[in-house]
Amino acid sequence: MTSESLPLEYGVFLDWIEAGSSVLDLGCGDGKLLSLLVREKKVKAQGIEIDEQAIYRCVAKGLSVFHQDIDNGLSEYANKSFDYVILNQSFQQVKKPDIVLTEALRVSEKVIISFPNFAHYRARVQIFFNGRTPITSSLPYEWHDTPNLHFLSILDFVEYCEKRNITIETSSFVGRNRSVKIFPNLLALTGVFLISKK
Amino acid sequence: MIASHLLPKKIGKVTQRHEHPINIPEQPSDSETNRSVGHVETLYYQFALPPNELTLESGEKLGPITVAYETYGQLNADRSNAILILHALTGDAHAAGFHKGEGKPGWWDDMIGPGKAFDTRKYFVICSNILGGCRGTTGPSSINPKTGKRYGLDFPIITISDMVQVQKHLSDHLRIDRLLSVAGGSMGGMQALEWLTAHPDRLKSAIIIATAAKHSAQQIALNEVGRQAIMADPNWKEGHYYGGHLPAKGLAVARMVGHITYMSETSMGEKFGRRLKDNAKKQKFSIDFEVEDYLHNRGNNFVKRFDANSYLYITKAIDSFDVSRGKPLQQAFKGIKARALVLAFKSDWLYPASQSLEIVKACKLAGIETTYCEIDSTYGHDAFLLEIEEESHLVKHFLQNVSSAPVVTEENEVMAYDI
């Protein structure tokens, strides 16, 4: 795996996650991020993933992974079982994001969440001028084949955290080829947040 | 006195299959031939000689005990590459390769061999017949040394834990302190669970396939039908049928019920549908449908190789099994450092995925490093013997990972994760 093939936000995860910590990746896909964290940060890793083919690819990478739905895969964990729970591009795909996030914050000290920003200017342009459901590099799907169930902006998430008494410890925003420092809700394709429960 | 033929023979005695003329109905291709462990022999180990009989879970003593086993591949210098394969209800020690003069390979030959899931170029694979069985290991059809006659119902009640005790004695005999893995499906999975909880320091991992931590009412009920069929056979005679007519009808019916539970509605539909038997006799209640014919054949063939009393003893052992002995499962799993691979199959209604998820849930709570996959299959419970490609992929990589990982014990736990 070359570094060029890695999404920019993976660098954010590498920066934030402490070496040797325990990580639960909810919706870990083919285990690309998780295996990177194992290699670079020596984390104790566990994944949960619903797609069977993705499970095979995770196992081939040497990862421990549960073939389960994340909507109901967390209830059996004791409080604070992990140092980090990761929701990398999976938060907007769960049936009940509220419950998943509450559970994630229960079983872990910290949660790192990354999601596509629905309010990116390109999305806004497509809605406003074309009157079409937006397609951007972080929201690449047609309306009829998207795995995303929820569409949220960076501001939506910040506001949501305030309402739910969730602390945003730090955040990072990613554009097409670089990180975004100003006007993230307009310019960022992906938002990454490190959150904890107050 | 130990009969000389019961003494342990050389470990891992394997000769290449092409050295031996075998009549195989379907000629396998060259690549398949190379992937076979070749010609194998069953070995025997005897222990628990009086007065040192084995104390069973029930408190009763049993001995001497003979264990039939086979090994494939070579044990490495530090004796760290041994994998114990655990068979299901009617399996035996012959898991892979070919016996002299036989065309049919061992029961899990698709999974065990050079380059296969349990790669015999890397691992030393052991499979033994269970206690209570009738395929070489001491069971109700063995001679009771006290009477000189076959045990019959004088054979003590045995449990999954007793089976594992016997396997532990075998691994002691082979001087294997820590197994790289134990692996089995169905009742084999129960033994894997028992190994994991009873001897966690004796293994690095467990592969637990299509099984349950304990039987449900439905599973017990199905087994009871099989037992009642045997006991209702007038030839059963309270288990004292040896030397006379066998309770063949009863055992065949038990097997028929078994086979129904091993298949799914879809796999039965695809295999037989409502097709009629070619030369169906037009008599009242004759065998009309292909599925009936299949079940009859399976039942009748089974009688030739299996002992009815063994069927009773083993199904009772399965039904009474509860790996956590009534306690919450996660308590039984507490402190276990071994890793687990848990597999279930989508169409398996005999051991549904929900039962595997119970095991997985307890693994999560106990902090056992676990991988779980519910493999998409239409084969029902039989899938664990048939879904070779998926199973092989998962088992192969899991074992690779386990063999490269350091042994984790209480003392070096932190260190191990820091490596």
CATH of range B220-318; options 1.10.1740.110, 3.10.180.10, 1.10.10.10, 2.40.30.170: 1.10.1740.110
Q: Is the confidence at residue B16, as pLDDT, over 60?
A: no
Q: What stretches in chain A show pLDDT beneath 70?
A: 1-4
Q: What does the block give as tokens for B330?
A: 């996660």
Convert the pLDDT of each residue in B273-297 to its tens digit. Answer: 999 988 766 788 888 899 999 999 9
Does B398 lie at the interface with A, CB-CB under 8 angstroms? yes
A59 to B375: CB separation less than 8 angstroms, yes or no:
no
> Is residue A50 one of the residues assigned to a domain?
yes
Number of residues that make up chain B: 419
pTM: 0.90
Which residues in chain B are contacts of A63 at CB distance < 8 A? Answer: 371
B375 to A52: CB separation less than 8 angstroms, yes or no:
yes
Task: Reduce the secondary structure of B201-252 to three states and give it as a string.
Answer: HHECEEEEECCCCECCHHHHHHHHHHHHHHHHCCCCHHHCCCCCCCCHHHHH
Using alpha carbons, list the distances in angstroms from residue A82 to A47, A77, B302: 12, 9, 51
B165 with B301: CB under 8 angstroms?
no
How many independent structural domains does chain A possess?
1
Of B277 and B345, the structure prediction assigns the larger pLDDT to B345
Active-site entry in B109, B142, B381, B382: B381
For position B31, what pLDDT does the model report? 52
Interface test with A, best of B331, B347, B357, B372 (most A CBs within 10 A): B372
Convert the pLDDT of each residue in B38-91 to its tens digit. Answer: 999 999 999 999 999 999 999 999 999 999 999 999 999 999 999 999 999 999
ipTM confidence score: 0.92
Which residues in chain A are contacts of B372 at CB distance < 8 A? Answer: 65-68
Nearest to B371 among A42, A44, A65 (CB): A65
B191 with B213: CB under 8 angstroms?
no
The share of chain B scoring above pLDDT 70, in percent, equals 89
Over residues B229-255, the mean pLDDT reads: 97
For position B409, what pLDDT does the model report? 58
> Is residue A144 one of the residues assigned to a domain?
no
B186 is catalytic: yes
Q: Is the confidence at residue B106, as pLDDT, over 50?
A: yes
Give the closest residue to B131 by CA, choosing from B146, B141, B117: B141
Which residues in chain B are contacts of A55 at CB distance < 8 A? Answer: 371, 373
Convert the pLDDT of each residue in A5-29 to its tens digit. Answer: 788 999 999 999 999 999 999 999 9
B375 with A52: CB under 8 angstroms?
yes
| Domain residue limits at A55 | 3-118+151-197
Q: Is the confidence at residue B25, as pLDDT, over 50?
A: no
> Is residue A155 one of the residues assigned to a domain?
yes
CATH code: domain of residue A19: 3.40.50.150
B360 to A42: CB separation less than 8 angstroms, yes or no:
no
**Domain B4-215+322-418, second-level architecture:** 3-Layer(aba) Sandwich (3.40)
B381 is catalytic: yes
Q: Is the confidence at residue B113, as pLDDT, over 90?
A: yes
* Rounded CA separation B394/B183 (Å): 13
Active-site entry in B348, B356, B377, B382: B348
